[in-house]
Amino acid sequence: MEPSDRSSVQYDVVVIGSGAAGLTAALALASKLKVLVLAKGQLTGGSTAWAQGGIAAVLDAGDTFEEHIRDTMVAGAGLNRLETVEYVVERAPSAIGRLVELGVPFNMEGDALHLTREGGHSHRRIVHVNDATGWAVQQALLKAAEDSPNITLLPGRSCIDLITGRHEMRYSGSGRIWGVYALNEETGHVEAYTARATVLATGGAGRVYRFSTAPRGATGDGIAMAWRAGARVSNMEMMQFHPTCLYNLEVKNFLITEAVRGEGGHLRHPVTGRRFMPDYDERAELAPRDVVARAIDDQIKRYGLDYVHLDISHRPPEFVKEHFPNIYEKLISLGIDMTREPIPVVPAQHYTCGGVLVDLDGRTDLPGLYAAGECTESGLHGANRLASNSLLECFVFGEAAAAHILDHWDAFDAPPPIRDWDESRVTDSDEEVVIKQNWTEIRRFMWNYVGIVRTTKRLERAMHRIQMLNGEVEEYYRHFRVSTDLVELRNLLQSAELIVDSALRRHESRGLHYTLDYPETLPVAEDTVLVP
C-alpha cells in the first residue's frame, strides 16, 4: 500500500515501534484487526536486532519456575513485583515455542534447544542463536509481519506526540489516546495516524548517556510522549550499565556479551594483569551486572585507566570461536585476536529498567494506550534486570497487550475528528549546530553526574543543566519546523529530567542506583513513581 493512500485507510490499532515488543503485538492483533506499525528510520533500527545474549526460559529438566523467579527477584534487589515476575516466567516456555514456530533457528543440542548460562542465573536457561539471537528474532518477526495481509509497516516515521482528547476538534480533557502525530522523514510533513487503540513499543532511553550500547534511536521517545500525555513513569533512576562494551575509538557501542564471562572470561587490570573481581565479590566475574560494572568503574577511576581487560585467551581457541563467532570476527577485523589476547572493555549504558507504568495487560494510565518492552516499567526487572529477561518481556507483554485489546474490542470507540498538526508558525531551522551542541552536552553531564556511582551534589548539578536546557529547547521547538533530530533532542532532555528527578528521590542505594550519600539499602523496597 502506498503511504499516500493511507489517509483513506482507517487502521484499528497503531503500533509504535518495530522491534520484538511491537511486532509481537502486531502479529497477535492481526489475527482479527488491521494494524499499522510505525518505525523511526528503518524497521530494523531498534535494540532487538542487537541483542547478543538470548532469551531466558525454564526448559532444563532440573530447572524450575521458582528458581527463575527467585533469580529475577535477587537481581532486581527486591524491587520487582512478584506477580509480574511469576506471570512472565510462567509464560516464557510458550513464548519460545511460538518463536520456534516462526522459524527462529535456535542452537540445538541433539533434539533439545541448547541452553547457555549467564550471570545471575542459577541454571543454564538461555536459548540463543550463536551470539546474535536478537538479529535472528528480528528477521523472523519481520518476515511474519510482511507476510500478514492485516499489517502495514511504515518506516521513516518519527513520532512526536500522542494524540489525546486535547487534540480532538471538539476539545476534551479526557486523556483518551487516539493515535500519534508523526513526522514523515521523507516529506518533512507531520501526519496524524489515528486508531482506536495504540501500542507503545519504542524501546529505552540509553542515548541519554555518552557511552551506550543502545542503537542511535534509543532516545526515550515513548517514555517522553507518554509522560507529556499524562501517564505515570516509574523507576527511571534504574539504568543498567553493561560492564563490558568494547573500548575502541573507531567503533562505537560494540557489546561483548555477558556469556564471555559465563564461559570463563576473567577481568584484569590492563597494566598489572591482576584479576580484580574476587576482591569485590565472591561470585567474581559471575556476580550480577551492577556489581561488575561498579567494580570496573572503581578500577578505572582509582587507577586513572581508560579501560580494563576481559580475557578468555586461556580457553581453547576452537571453543572461543565456536561460542562467539560474531564477536571473534568483529574483533579480528579490528586487529584483536580474542583467542590469544585480552579485549579492552568499559562499562556502557545498556538497558532502561524504568519506564511507563503498565499492568499485566500492558495497559498504561491513559485509556486506549498500551505499552510493552523496554519503554515500560512492568515490575519484571525491579532495580536491576536479570540477563536475557528483556527479550522475554517483549514477547510476553506484546502478547498480553494484544490479548486485552482483542478481548475488549467492542468497548473501543472509533476516533473522533482530530485537528491537523499546526505548521503555520514555524520556519526552517538555521541552527542545526544548536541541536548537536545540546545533545553532546546532555550525554556528557549524564555520564559524569548520573552514571554508575552518584552523589546528591552531582545529581543537583545535572538537574541545574537540564533546567537551563529546557528553556532553550522549548523555545527552539516552538519556532522551528520539526526534524527527527529536534524531536529526539526534546525527548532525550525529557528522559534525562525523569532519570535525575527519580534518582534525587531515592534516598538509598539499591541495585543499579548507587549513591555515595545513601550507601545503605532501606528495609522496604518502594518504586519511585513520578506523576505528571
Just list the catalytic residues: 289
Write down how long the chain is: 532
DSSP conformation class of 375: G
Task: Report the greatest alpha carbon distance in the chain.
Answer: 70
Amino acid at 216: R
Q: Are 50 and 134 in contact (CB under 8 A)?
A: yes
Beta strands in 373-490 (DSSP E): 376-377
Chain center to CA of 42: 17
Q: Are 205 and 240 in contact (CB under 8 A)?
A: no
Ramachandran sector of residue 83 (left: φ over 0; alpha: ψ -120 to 50; beta: rest)? alpha
Q: Are 417 and 168 in contact (CB under 8 A)?
A: yes
Which residue is it, cell 518476515? 143
Grid coordinates given for 332: 579480528
Grid coordinates given for 159: 513520532
Sorted by sequence, the CB contacts under 8 Å of residue 79 that are 6+ apart come out as: 235, 238, 382, 383, 510, 511, 525, 527
Grid coordinates given for 65: 519456575
269 exposed, middle or buried (CB, 10 Å; 0-12, 13-18, 19+)?
middle
What is the helix (H) or strand (E) element at residue 2, kind and residue range? none
User: Residue 82 and residue 446: Cα distance in Å, rounded?
Assistant: 31
Q: Are 40 and 201 in contact (CB under 8 A)?
A: no
User: Residue 532 and residue 518: Cα distance in Å, rounded?
Assistant: 26
118 exposed, middle or buried (CB, 10 Å; 0-12, 13-18, 19+)?
buried
For CA atoms 90, 260, 382, 524, give the dihedral sign: positive
What is the helix (H) or strand (E) element at residue 329, kind and residue range? helix 325-333
